[in-house]
Amino acid sequence: DADVTQTPRNRITKTGKRIMLECSQTKGHDRMYWYRQDPGLGLRLIYYSFDVKDINKGEISDGYSVSRQAQAKFSLSLESAIPNQTALYFCATSDLHLGTDTQYFGPGTRLTVL
Amino acid sequence: SQQGEEDPQALSIQEGENATMNCSYKTSINNLQWYRQNSGRGLVHLILIRSNEREKHSGRLRVTLDTSKKSSSLLITASRAADTASYFCATDNRGSEKLVFGKGMKLTVNP
């Protein structure tokens, strides 16, 4: 969905490096999410934010941090990358205005930690 | 885990056949959603069924929900090669703030 963009799309980094993944949306949604996807494990929620001043941990937040700089921007940081953080990372947005939490996903960032 | 589970984990069919995918879950829900993911790309929302609905249609998609059995099925009729993708169910659980996704299942439609 072009309304949710992620940068970079691919990144190779080394163990111990700090890395930031960025997500921007033009949908005007209040809610934003970061997921990681690993083969056979489905999507796992890392962090989520329901508005600019709200940050919540998901099921696998250890080793990650986030920043909600504006309604439209939600960044995910790996403070000190390790190889088992190699995965496909997705940002998503949603808006409960219509009473359902339908989510809209970005194209993903493929991260490799060597 | 509150995670839904899709069944089968992989399905291979011929173009024109129908594909049925099942999802089982464990808790009370507000709604259940199905998403599609083409290889390596972001998930795309397909259809949502609320807990008080039993069946819903959208184009070639038909979804059913049985809350007594805590299960849902997604039927794709007259499948096409372009339907080849991974499919995920996601539950909006009562008392939870967020969707919970299943592990997904892979559908291959052979031309």
Please tell me the distance from the alpha carbon of residue B77 to that of residue B98, in angstroms, as a whole number.
30
Residues 25-64 of A with CB under 8 A from B: 33, 35, 40-43, 45, 48, 50, 56, 58
Q: Render pLDDT for B33-64 as a digit per residue (tens, 0 to 9).
A: 999 999 889 999 999 999 999 999 999 999 99
Q: Render pLDDT for B68-104 as a digit per residue (tens, 0 to 9).
A: 999 999 999 999 999 999 999 999 888 787 889 998 9
Shortest CA gap B18–chain A (Å): 24
**Between the CA of residue B66 and those of B9, B24, B53, what are the distances in Å?**
20, 10, 9
Please tell me the distance from the alpha carbon of residue A75 to that of residue A6, in angstroms, as a whole number.
9
Given a contact cutoff of 8 angstroms between Cβ atoms, the answer to whether B57 and B46 are in contact is no
3-state helix, strand, coil in chain B (%, to 5): 5, 60, 40
- Determine which of A57, A100, A110, A111 to mutate to test the interface with B (most B C-beta atoms within 10 Å): A100
Contacts of B60 (CB under 8 A, 6+ apart): B76, B77, B78
Cis ω for the linkage preceding A107 (within 30 of 0): no
Tell me which chain B residue has its CA closest to the CA of residue A33. B98
Q: Which two tokens stand for residue A82?
A: 């390790």
Contacts of A40 in chain B (CB under 8 A): 103
Which of A25, A35, A10 is CA-nearest to residue A74? A25
Note the pLDDT of residue B40.
82
Note the pLDDT of residue B1.
47
Q: Does B88 touch chain A (CB under 8 A)?
A: yes
Q: Is A42 within 8 Å of B45 when comparing Cβ atoms?
A: no
pLDDT tens per residue across all 114 residues of chain A: 469 999 999 999 999 999 999 999 999 999 999 999 998 778 999 999 999 999 999 999 999 999 999 999 999 999 999 999 999 999 999 987 667 779 999 999 999 999
Q: Does A20 touch chain B (CB under 8 A)?
A: no
Q: Compute and round to an integer the Cα radius of gyration of chain A.
A: 13
Please tell me the distance from the alpha carbon of residue B98 to that of residue A37, in angstroms, as a whole number.
17
The partner residue sitting opposite A105, judged by closest CB among B3, B43, B98, is B43
- Determine which of A44, A48, A98, A101 to mutate to test the interface with B (most B C-beta atoms within 10 Å): A101
